[in-house]
A and B are shown apart, each in its own frame.
Chain A
């Protein structure tokens, strides 16, 4: 069959909402776009463990410590599902990881901001996971089957995280003056970076049109961003806090909130690597990977010994 026909069959499936599966024919660009997007997503989960992990040993109660540990662990789990989804497209986890470490692959810029106080943990749960969910709910219907299925599992856990983050801020918002100030300060610092998570404006987004046609994406950056603003502008009323935007105002005609202009210079600076923690985050990942090398080698060497026909001894592993 000529390529032309393969492409027609492929686009026909997309148009009829039939999922594309690993062994199906797909255009190279579709494969590459999915690899890029899924691996970036996986890296975001894994790098995202760092800013929150920063507060695990200092969590203010045993309950909060357990919740935070479980949350960061969930993110590692999400990373695993997504690296596996990526492998179905023919790239190994090792290759994908190497692209992260070399700086070739990106991850969500939001994790290049520091977690300075305990309230940042609540703000990340509420705003960052909240923004991620907007995107991820859409992705449960993305056209590539393994990615869509991974997102269904991930979304369930993420919405739980968002509620936990909000609840944690709610406690601060009803606490002492110092706690309230800590809460407001965290919202001030995380609000604009959270809005940037949806990416450039539609008019400037280079990957969008083709992704929409292939139903990798189903909503535009600006649409998702607006949905997020509308949701948070309502939820913040319960906290009795303020979003740091003078232009935020309900527009009765549009049936949406209007909001101020994002600082796009800052957005591009962080993308380019000049955010407050770009270097630290990447260094931490590289360090974990490099310092783990001897461990991975030892595990592989031991597995080879056990697989060889003449094992030296046996038993204790099974009996342990």
Chain B
């Protein structure tokens, strides 16, 4: 497990900052991978206004990812400045484009396929709810850069949460067909929600115990599910591993698209 965050790429980062870098990468990867998934909808949405809305959310998430990657790169470079400058240094793009499947630390929920509009809306809702309470907590973090990014992103996430809750309710309580599709989405995604509240080693080291977010998250999900005529599942076995680099098979395909050009033409500017 150690290798997933203190791998040889960042070997000169001392342990305490190593955990911090790992955590920041975890936050960045979550936003990037979900942003990448949402971007797949662009041009294919069920109605033009919603095509624009999901693209907006994708842009917000990619923006958050960039802020976190830039900060992680800065920390990495402080400890291992590259002698020639430039190329060898970590950057937002080297972190997004040149790490492997086992190095990505996003939650499994973020990488799940779009499925239909119901599945995408539910994934967004479950994740935005988590992100909302997490960023609200991180706003007061002693690391002022993390706190600053969280504070700025919270405005965006509040909108994502409102928009996706509305869709969950609308589809859950819409037609027979939309209700059926929401049930299927719950069935597809629920087992990936447990991981959100199980702290990874780097979270424990930084005293970011996400377990305490679970009550707020569950309360919000209950309220919306109730309004949407959906039932919160019980006794579902929870999958985990994303946070420490053991992913579902989907991530490899996401990265082969995402990283294709950087891998095929190494060392180029774009």
Contacts and interface: CB of A to CB of B under 8 A. Distances in A.
Interface of A: 46, 49-50, 53, 56-66, 69-70, 72-73, 76-77, 79-80, 83, 118, 168, 171-172, 175-176, 178-179, 284, 287-288, 291-299, 301-302, 305, 312-313, 315-317, 319-320
Most A Cβ at <10 Å: residue of B46, B178, B265: B46
A56 B175 contact: no
Interface string B91-105: 011001100000000
Contacts of B181: 294
Given A61-B93, A319-B223, A66 B258 contact: no
B116 to A, nearest CB: 7
A288 B269 CA distance: 35
B260 A58 contact: yes
A66 B165 CA distance: 25
Nearest to B62: A66
Contact of A77 (B50, B52, B270): B52
Interface residues of B, number: 56
Contact of A73 (B42, B92, B166): B42
B257 A58 contact: yes
B161 A50 contact: no
A62 B45 CA distance: 23
Contacts of B165: 316-317, 320
Interface string B223-242: 11011000000000000000
Contacts of B66: 62-63, 66
A118 B257 CA distance: 12
A53 B46 CA distance: 16
Contact of B42 (A69, A77, A80, A179): A69
A60 B48 contact: no
B177 A298 contact: yes
Contacts of A292: 45-47, 117
12 contacts: A62-B32, A62-B92, A72-B55, A76-B52, A79-B48, A175-B268, A284-B43, A288-B45, A305-B173, A320-B161, A320-B166, A320-B169
B20 to A, nearest CB: 21
Contacts of A179: 265, 268
Given A58-B260, A317-B165, A297 B269 contact: no
B40 interface: yes
Contacts of B251: none
Contact of B265 (A176, A295, A299): A176
A294 B47 CA distance: 11
Contacts of A64: 270
A120 to B, nearest CB: 13
B175 A301 contact: yes
Interface in B45-79: 45-52, 55-56, 58-59, 62-63, 65-66, 69
Contacts of A61: 93, 97, 262, 270
A302 B62 contact: no
B120 to A, nearest CB: 10
B223 A316 contact: yes
A168 B181 CA distance: 42
A175 to B, nearest CB: 6
The 8 closest A-B pairs by CB, nearest first: A292-B46, A298-B174, A298-B178, A316-B227, A320-B165, A49-B43, A53-B43, A60-B261
Contacts of A296: 46-47
A289 to B, nearest CB: 8
Given A291-B46, A317-B165, 4 more contacts: A56-B39, A291-B116, A302-B170, A320-B161
Contacts of A284: 43-44
B177 A294 contact: yes
B171 A295 contact: yes
Contacts of B56: 73
Most B Cβ at <10 Å: residue of A46, A49, A58, A320: A320
